[in-house]
Amino acid sequence: MDVLLRLLGMLAVLLVGTGLRSVGVLDSSRTGRLNAATYYVALPSLVFVATYDRSIAALLSGALVVAVLAALLATAGIAWVLHRNRPAARRSVAVVQSYHSNLGYLGLPLVAATFDPDVTALASVVLGVALLVQVPLTVAVLSVVNGADTSVVREASTLARNPVLIALVAGILIGAVGAPVPVAVASGLDRLGSLVLPLALLCVGASLRVDRAVADPGATGWVLALKLGCAPAIAWATLVGFGVDAATLTAGVVMLGTPTAVSTYVFATELGGDEAFASRNVFVTTVASVASLYVLIGLVG
């Protein structure tokens, strides 16, 4: 019941963000500042605090890396086959939204609020590995299918400057060498990290568009099934096959069972995808994930 109440509370904050945008409180400028505070301060703080006091052996699990890659790439491949006959702009969006998860703004904060620090540390690794794969893959799929012009060097440079990845690497390195972190610093970062969930939910809510007309419900249904069902199922099967412990299984399955990231709408807008279709899918998978994550958490928790 606690998990269900937490998920329903998250949905309520999301809808508050949507409502604040609709009445003009969270306009583009304020949402941008809120997003910057979340992306550059709160989320990196959470990642660093979750990893800085752990050994590399405790964090970098080969099974977890393989499970993340298997879930992302296999789901992308299945989506490619299922949507191969759709118009290019819609096909590209359907493929990327089937695997591209909202790991930073929903996944990791949810794990941190629901499970113990061991699971949160492993979830931070899932976030880092997935960022290195799903962002370049999404840009590549949208660019190739839609014939959009993009710079691989620019995207690689952007990824290298990602504050979440920098915080993850810093945490892993400090944990590897056993360098002490002052208690006051760790405590301050921990408090900043605790702000991720409310800030991120408001940002996501302010980005959701619920006024789009329903288009191609069949394609949206497949996106929903692949993102919330297929991806975590592949991760689960892979991790169980490796015989991992409960914390690793929980981190991998819950993180990869999160809804489609809002950033896919941004990528679709910039790289020739179907914007209205992308917006609708983000909203549908986000709302539906309340039920699917409740089931997943119950199964692994």
100 close to 233: Cβ distance less than 8 angstroms: no
Rounded CA-CA distance 138/278 in Å is: 13
Looking at residue 57, its pLDDT comes to 84
Q: What 3-state class would DSSP assign to 257? A: coil
Number of domains composing the chain: 1
The CATH number covering residue 106 comes to 1.20.1530
Looking at residue 211, its pLDDT comes to 60
* 101 beta partners: 260
Longest dimension (CA), the chain: 57
Query: Tokens representing 143?
Result: 């660019």
Residues of the chain with pLDDT under 50: none
Residues 6+ apart with CB under 8 A from 16: 202, 205
Looking at residue 100, its pLDDT comes to 97
Nearest to 38 by CA among 19, 17, 11: 17
The range of the structural domain enclosing residue 144 comes to 2-207+215-300
Q: Kindly report the pTM of this predicted structure.
A: 0.92
Q: What 3-state class would DSSP assign to 301? A: coil
